[in-house]
């Protein structure tokens, strides 16, 4: 494998669509609410400008991708130097396989972190300018917290991914912070109803992590990586997985009912079909390693859901 291919593999491109799902939902709502020219409205009560025309949206996407790649590099590095990935199932890890040295991965993490923080600075300044110092200060600290959280997942003696707290991180950062934070960048306000789609994205993202941890349960248990799946056991993790997907679907339907204006709002249920099929597969599964292909299905279905939900709600 060439050096370039090794770094691309370490970036784990298949995780990127999932990471931006919350940004798509939050930014779409925020950008639409932000654009309210006097006397020009539609059925929503405002005249929306497509979110893809907003520089803030693309900056938010770039920052999120940066955080995700940093997290992937850190995960590869942390698990690699601890020997966790020595006999893992699924995709090959670069540090564990020797294709990228720990020192090189460390440098890659630093470079990715610096670039991502620089982009986050531009995003924050573009959203708040000079006149909102307190808001800028808060979001700068959130950016720093995101970098620390991305690295500490598997790096260090007290890596929280090794104590079953990875699910909490994914739910908070991929769900609540991603949706509510991107919405706030546009509007400088929050609405409690947005907790429903934010919770849904968080649940779907956590379901992907749960699949990952269920695939790796045997190896993680052997090396002392106490993920939530290892703690609760393989069978109970199936029920937990079903809860995450069902509760996420319920939250989105609840949001659409509370804000109903047309039946087209529910077109996103198309993305629920793969979720339901995935639950069926999960409950029948007895071989953890066979769950690897299911990760991509749930991740891409979440991405599809985010696009459809953002467009029609």
Q: How confident is the model at residue 2 (pLDDT cuts 50, 70, 90)?
A: low
pLDDT average, residue stretch 268-276 = 96
Q: Which region among 23-32, 113-122, 247-256 has the lowest average model confidence (pLDDT)?
A: 23-32
Residue 45: pLDDT above 50? no
Report pLDDT digits (tens) over 140-179. Answer: 999 999 999 989 988 877 888 888 889 999 999 999 999 9
Mean pLDDT to the nearest integer, 8-26: 93
Tell me what pLDDT residue 85 has. Answer: 65
Burial code of 285-297, b = ≥16 C-beta within 10 A, e = fewer?
beebeebeebbeb
The chain-wide mean pLDDT, for the chain, equals 87
Q: Give mean pLDDT, residues 234-238.
A: 91
State residue 32's pLDDT score.
67
Sort 304 into a burial class: Cβ within 10 Å, 0-12 / 13-18 / 19+: middle
Taking a C-beta distance cutoff of 8 angstroms, is the pair 217, 231 a contact?
Answer: no
Check whether 263 has a pLDDT greater than 50: yes
Per-residue pLDDT reduced to its tens digit, 31-43: 765 444 444 343 3
In this predicted structure, what is the pLDDT of residue 286? 86
Q: What's the confidence (pLDDT) of residue 86?
A: 63
> Tokens representing 144?
């720093």
Residue 38 is predicted with a pLDDT of 44
As given in the structure block, the two tokens for residue 115 are 């670039």
Which ranges of the chain would DSSP assign to H, the alpha helix?
A: 3-11, 16-19, 21-34, 55-82, 94-97, 102-128, 133-152, 166-170, 178-187, 195-215, 217-223, 228-232, 234-258, 272-284, 292-312
Tokens of 43: 């059925």
68-121 tens-digit pLDDT: 999 999 999 988 888 776 666 667 788 888 889 999 999 999 999 999 999 999
């Amino acid at each position: 494998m060439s050096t370039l291919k090794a770094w691309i593999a370490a970036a784990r491109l298949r995780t990127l669509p999932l990471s931006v799902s919350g940004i798509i939902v939050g930014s779409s709502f925020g950008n639409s609410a932000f654009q309210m020219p006097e006397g020009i409205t539609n059925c929503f009560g405002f005249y929306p400008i497509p979110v893809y025309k907003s520089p803030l949206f693309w900056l938010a996407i770039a920052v999120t991708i940066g955080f995700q790649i940093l997290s992937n590099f850190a995960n590869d590095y942390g698990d690699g130097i601890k020997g966790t990935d020595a006999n893992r199932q699924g995709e090959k890890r670069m540090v564990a396989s020797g294709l990228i040295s720990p020192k090189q991965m460390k440098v890659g993490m630093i470079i990715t972190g610096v670039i991502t923080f620089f982009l986050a600075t531009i995003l924050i300044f573009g959203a708040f300018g000079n006149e909102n110092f307190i808001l800028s200060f808060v979001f700068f600290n959130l950016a720093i917290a995101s970098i620390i959280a991305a690295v500490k997942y598997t790096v260090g003696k007290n890596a929280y991914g090794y104590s079953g707290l990875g699910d909490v991180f994914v739910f908070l950062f991929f769900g609540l912070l991603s949706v509510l934070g991107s919405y706030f960048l546009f509007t400088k306000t929050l609405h409690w109803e947005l907790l429903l789609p934010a919770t849904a994205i968080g649940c779907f993202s956590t379901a992907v992590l749960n699949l990952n941890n269920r695939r790796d349960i045997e190896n993680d248990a052997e090396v002392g990586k106490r993920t939530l799946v290892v703690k609760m056991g393989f069978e109970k993790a199936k029920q937990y997985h079903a809860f995450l997907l069902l509760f996420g679907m319920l939250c989105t339907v609840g949001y659409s009912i509370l804000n109903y204006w047309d039946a087209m709002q529910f077109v996103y249920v198309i993305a629920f079909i793969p979720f339901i099929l995935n639950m069926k597969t999960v409950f029948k599964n007895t071989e953890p390693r066979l769950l690897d292909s299911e990760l991509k299905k749930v991740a891409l279905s979440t991405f599809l859901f985010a696009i459809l939900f953002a467009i029609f709600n």
